[in-house]
Amino acid sequence: MKLSVEISMYPLKDEYIPSIQDFIERLNRHPELRVITNTMSTQVFGDYNLLMDVLKQEMRASYEKHGRAIFVCKFIDGDLAPAESDV
C-alpha cells in the first residue's frame, strides 16, 4: 500500500529554521521515499509501512535533538505525488 503525507514542523523556539532544515535533510536521506518541500510544508510519498517507520524515527530524532516541536500531518492512502515534470 502506498501513502502520501503532508507534514509541517513548528519548533517551539526562536531559532526554528535549523530544526526544520535538519528534519527535511534527514527525510531526504531515505532514497526509497519521494520528498517534495515547498515554503509551506513537506510532502512525502512511499510505501505505507516504510513511510510510517521513517516518520516515527525522524520525528523522535527531532524531539531528542532539538526539543519541543509541533508536527501537523495529513495522511491519505495512495501515491499522490505530482509527476516529476510538474515539480
Q: What domains does the chain contain, in order, with CATH numbers?
A: 2-77 (3.30.70.930)
Set of cell numbers at residue 87: 515539480
SS3 content of the chain, % helix, strand, coil (to 5): 40, 35, 30
Residue-wise pLDDT for 14-56, tens only, equals 999 999 999 999 999 999 999 999 999 999 999 999 999 999 9
86: pLDDT strictly greater than 80: no
Predicted confidence at residue 42, as pLDDT, reads 98
Q: Which residues, listed in sequence order, are joined to residue 43 by a DSSP beta bridge?
A: 6, 36
- Taking the C-alpha atoms of residue 74 and residue 23, their distance in angstroms, rounded to an integer, is 17
